[in-house]
Amino acid sequence: MKKLFSVFAALLLFFFNASAQQSFSLPGKWRGSFPLKSGGEIPFSFEIKGGSAANATLYFINAGESYPGGSVIQKGDSVYVSLDQFDNLLALGISSDQSLNGFLRKQNGKGTPIPVTASKKIITRFPTTGVKPVADISSRYDVVFTNDSGRQTRAVGIFKQKDNALSATFLRVTGDSRYSEGIIEGNLFSLSVFIGSSPTLFTGTVNADGSITGNQVGLRSKQSFTAIKNEQAQLPDAYSLTALKEKEARFNFAFKNIEGKLITLDDARYKNKPVIVTIGGTWCPNCADEAAFLSDWYRKNKNRGIEIIAIQFEVLNDFNYAQQQMSRFKKRFNISYEQVFGGLAENAKVQEALPALEKFISYPTTLFINRNGKVNKIHTGFTGPATGKFYTEFIKEFNAEADLLLKN
């Protein structure tokens, strides 16, 4: 009798799970969440589009931006999202309540998997109570971040608010934090951002004097910050932060491209031409924003006689790995200029590979090289679309520098 009951129970469970899988639907808007060891969570929003499990794409949603994450495949009660730009994978199981539970991990299975959950039942990123904000904090701010060791970093904070909805980006000399989205209720706010790597949470308090105190929280790190309203807040000149050891020396290098061919500025394609060289990595969000800009810019301007080369420094010092990531990067951003592999993505390694640099502090760093192989200017970091006026100013300055290269 017990055996018959066990068989019946197993059949019942089988048919229940089969029914749940048949009624499960991937397309639509979802709310994801990374639990924090210290308590709380880092929420994120995404949407899956596509008519079938074999032809679906995940898009990360942050402050109105829809960022392509990767292809989605459903196999039985499992869902896999290939986040190729960051060599990551979302491996998720379908629960009986139609939610998803699993891990964010490297595609090769190495490293520590990060727990993640997702649901379509509640898609609001942060829970709301209906409390009205104490003020509209839309403005530009002077910001100082302080890490656990006491090291401080200056930034410019750009906050935009409409009723309880809040978005922000923090611009440092190395680049911006892209689009973060959240809410403000009373004098408290919460913001988060995630596009496939390094989920980040910002929480803060609006003080009576209009200043802000808060924290930036990642899965393995935490920084505090203070922000003072200043509509004229600026960072140091991005063209003054990186220099060459010998200003008048010719700049050159020799690195392999995707096909394994050695590329130098002495090649016929680049000789006696102005060349824009960007030092970055396919894993770097700001480098991705720069690639989106440069790819379009190059298509429109290459016939003027100017070239671009991207030197990619990767998380592994392995050419086969770099070849894979550069190929993915090329496809994603429709890149038609050359990419070469520089080595391991460590600042000291970048300086070893490019000894002409006096120092290296940011991915990306962009060099404007004239027809004689000499560097006219070096731009540190990248101010992306999330920074608004800063991005507009960058494009204006970039075009001016490119025009100057072409005239001389």
pLDDT tens-place string over residues 57-94 = 999 999 989 999 999 999 999 999 999 999 999 999 99
Nearest to 150 by CA among 217, 224, 54, 201: 224
CA angle 395, 398, 402 (to 5 degrees): 140
For residue 19, pLDDT beyond 80:
no
For residue 43, pLDDT beyond 70:
yes
The strand pairing partners of 80, in sequence order, are: 73, 91
- pLDDT for res 382: 97
- pLDDT for res 209: 97
Name the band, by pLDDT with cuts 50, 70 and 90, for residue 12. very low
- pLDDT for res 298: 98
CATH number belonging to domain 255-407? 3.40.30.10
Each residue's pLDDT tens digit, 362-396 = 999 999 999 999 999 999 999 999 999 999 999 99
Is 0.75 topped by the overall pTM? yes
* CATH class entry, domain 139-229: mainly beta
For residue 11, pLDDT beyond 50:
no
3-class DSSP state of 232: coil
Q: Which part of the chain has CATH 3.40.30.10? A: 255-407
Each residue's pLDDT tens digit, 287-320 = 999 999 999 999 999 999 999 999 999 999 999 9
Beta-carbon contacts of residue 90 (< 8 Å; ≥ 6 apart): 58, 79, 80, 81, 83, 102, 103, 104, 116
CATH number belonging to domain 16-119? 2.40.128.120
Q: Which part of the chain has CATH 2.40.128.120? A: 16-119, 139-229
Each residue's pLDDT tens digit, 240-269 = 999 999 988 899 999 999 999 999 999 999
- pLDDT for res 408: 83
Name the band, by pLDDT with cuts 50, 70 and 90, for residue 46. very high
For residue 9, pLDDT beyond 90:
no
Over residues 218-224, mean pLDDT: 94
Torsion sign (Cα): 174, 179, 182, 185: positive
Give the up-direction half-sphere exposure of residue 141: CA atoms within 13 A in the CB hemisphere.
23
Query: What is the C-alpha to C-alpha distance for residues 326 and 356, in angstroms, rounded to an integer?
Result: 24
For residue 54, pLDDT beyond 70:
no
Mean pLDDT value across the chain: 93
Each residue's pLDDT tens digit, 273-284 = 999 999 999 999
